[in-house]
Amino acid sequence: MPEKNYSSLIEKLANEYRNHSPKSAQFQQRASQVLVDGGSHALRLIDPFPPRIRAAKGAYVEDIDGHHILDFWQGHYANILGHNPPEVTEVLAEAFARGDGLQTGFADMAQAELAEMICQQTGMDQARFTTSGTLSTMYAILMARAFTGRELVLKVGGGWHGAHLWGLVGVGHKQGFQHVDSVGVPEQVAQDVIVTEFNHLKKLEEVFKINGECLACFILEPVIGAGGMIPARRDYLQRARELCDQYGVVLIFDEVVSGFRYRAGDVGTLFGVHPDLITMGKVIGGGMPVAAVVGKKAIMGQVGIAQKNKVKFSGGTYSAHPASMLAAKTMVAYLIEHEEDVYPRLAKMSALLREKVLAVFLQAGVHARFAGVEKSILPQNSLHTLVVPFDENVVLDSPDTVLDPEVCDLPLTDKVLKLAMLLEDVHIVHGLGAMSTAHTEVEIDRIAKAYGRALEKIKPFLD
Ligand SMILES: Cc1ncc(COP(=O)(O)O)c(C=O)c1O
């Protein structure tokens, strides 16, 4: 089925939205003068303009037009306890009050306590902190290349590891995944990256057979974000581990999204597969810019004094920033201590959310589905990507299928529904988004009703 054209509907919704949020609409004009497209992160710059937020609490954000928007984006999936949870903000407020929090340029104790917890929960030896998931995957790849003395980086097509040079190769969702997604990536870097397909065992074996001796690392998300938090098949990850062992390749799990999202630790453990390096970010930061590489001593040691800091994972003015470390330590300790409560609760509410939302779509006669729902591996899944496949029976087990506009109605979920739901004061991303512990049955009812009204409006344009 060719991609549908919703331009007249989108224009109609955009006009309604301008009337709904006049202050944000007006602010966009000012912001666009000095910021490219009015902001600094493409996903936040909703077309025709984003709601400008002045406060956020729990499941809601408040915009400058006075709307209390029910939010399922939750800080790019970072806010597992909702926006500005008191568990973290009170600790930060106390710290600031006693003169602790902003940058000192010294080593504090919180980072060691945080590292102890993360290492313990992942079974890894050592950690080093940085400020973004992007940097964590870049450093992980750098360490793998130094450790093996090899050049080639193997990744999965569509996998987003952040906007560093290796990460930008093969992030597109076009057929073949051959292209570099940003102008400016050096040809040499593009040549050093081999792109394979998620969950495609045969292709993986072929790549290793041909290039195994030259591969430095295989980096992948065990639950891939692109296309909808789709878990790898267990046998795929097991085989990846075996092949990496056989050919001496460093296996890196990018758990920037999945770390501490499905349990108080890494998600690899749920698959029974353990990589050599894990990258984490988002949830562990407690709302602050924190990311980590955790891994085996033999690889991590390359950044230390004993090996003359040969891998330069050592800068970063704001690395292990005091307030960030405090927030992260508080969040990680909370999740470990409340693991038996937080994750089952998220799972229960998420199951209810999916059930109620799908019922609304069914009633409206629109075949919707949640990508990535795989209860045997991820029983405690709280991330939700709603898709509308053209064929009800299609198997959606990789980004290649979900993100193919011939397979799923992408403009419907990413543009039309997004705007229609904003008019209901509900913010969704990729069809729905992230559940936090601040979302209750009240919010589930609210989003279900909002989808119902949005679908009524959209329905005449669907057939
Ligand atoms: C799997 C994965 N890795 C890395 C990154 C990059 O993290 P950051 O945006 O903190 O740089 C992201 C960001 O969304 C991600 O989803």
Same domain membership, residue 293 and residue 231: yes
How far apart are the C-alpha atoms of 177 and 400, rounded to whole Å? Answer: 9
Q: List pLDDT tens digits, range 32-67.
A: 999 999 999 998 999 999 999 999 999 999 999 999
Nearest-CA residue for ligand 1 atom 3 is 161
Q: List pLDDT tens digits, range 292-307.
A: 999 999 999 999 999 9
- CA of 281, closest atom in ligand 1: 10
165 close to 179: Cβ distance less than 8 angstroms = no
DSSP assignment string, 212-227: GGGEEEEEE-SEE-TT
How far apart are the C-alpha atoms of 281 and 284, rounded to whole Å? Answer: 6
How far apart are the C-alpha atoms of 234 and 239, rounded to whole Å? Answer: 9
Q: List pLDDT tens digits, range 194-216.
A: 999 999 999 999 999 999 999 99
Ligand 1 center from residue 229 Cα (angstroms): 13
Task: For ligand 1, say whether the CB of 256 is within 6 Å of any of its atoms.
Answer: yes
Same domain membership, residue 455 and residue 416: yes
- Would you call 376 exposed, middle or buried from its count of C-beta atoms within 10 A (0-12, 13-18, 19+)? exposed
Is residue 449 in some structural domain?
yes
Same domain membership, residue 402 and residue 299: no
Indicate the number of domains in the chain.
2
User: What pLDDT sits at residue 179?
Assistant: 59
Task: For ligand 1, say whether the CB of 132 is within 6 Å of any of its atoms.
Answer: yes
271 close to 234: Cβ distance less than 8 angstroms = yes
Q: List pLDDT tens digits, range 266-320.
A: 999 999 999 999 999 999 999 999 999 999 999 999 999 999 999 999 989 999 9
How far apart are the C-alpha atoms of 108 and 64, rounded to whole Å? Answer: 38
How far apart are the C-alpha atoms of 119 and 300, rounded to whole Å? Answer: 13
The pLDDT-based confidence of 251 (bands split at 50, 70, 90) is very high
Q: List pLDDT tens digits, range 110-162.
A: 999 999 999 999 999 999 999 999 999 999 999 999 999 999 999 999 999 99
How far apart are the C-alpha atoms of 302 and 309, rounded to whole Å? Answer: 6
Same domain membership, residue 262 and residue 399: no
Q: Which two three-digit tokens encode residue 339? A: 């693991």
Q: List pLDDT tens digits, range 354-401.
A: 999 999 999 999 999 999 887 788 888 999 999 999 999 998 888 888
- Cis amide leading into 22 (omega within 30): no
Same domain membership, residue 327 and residue 227: yes
Same domain membership, residue 254 and residue 123: yes
* Pocket mutation for ligand 1, best pick of 73, 257, 266, 277 (most atoms within 8 Å of C-beta): 257
Task: For ligand 1, say whether the CB of 225 is within 6 Å of any of its atoms.
Answer: yes
- The SS3 call for residue 426 is strand
Is residue 401 in some structural domain?
yes
Average pLDDT, the chain: 95
Nearest-CA residue for ligand 1 atom 4 is 161
318 close to 353: Cβ distance less than 8 angstroms = no
Q: What percent of the chain has pLDDT over 70?
A: 98
How far apart are the C-alpha atoms of 107 and 336, rounded to whole Å? Answer: 24
**Where a domain ends, among 287, 318, 337?**
337
Nearest CA to 365 out of 392, 385, 393 is that of: 392
Is residue 177 in some structural domain?
yes
Backbone angles phi, psi at 340, to 5 degrees: -70, -15
Domain limits for position 313:
86-337
Instruction: Name, in order, each residue with C-beta under 8 angstroms of 348's C-beta and a sequence gap of 6 or more.
Output: none
Is residue 1 in some structural domain?
no
pTM of the model: 0.97
Range scoring the smallest mean pLDDT among 104-113, 173-182, 276-285, 327-336: 173-182
Ligand 1 center from residue 40 Cα (angstroms): 15
CA distances from 285 to 13, 247, 424 (A): 36, 35, 30
How far apart are the C-alpha atoms of 331 and 59, rounded to whole Å? Answer: 17
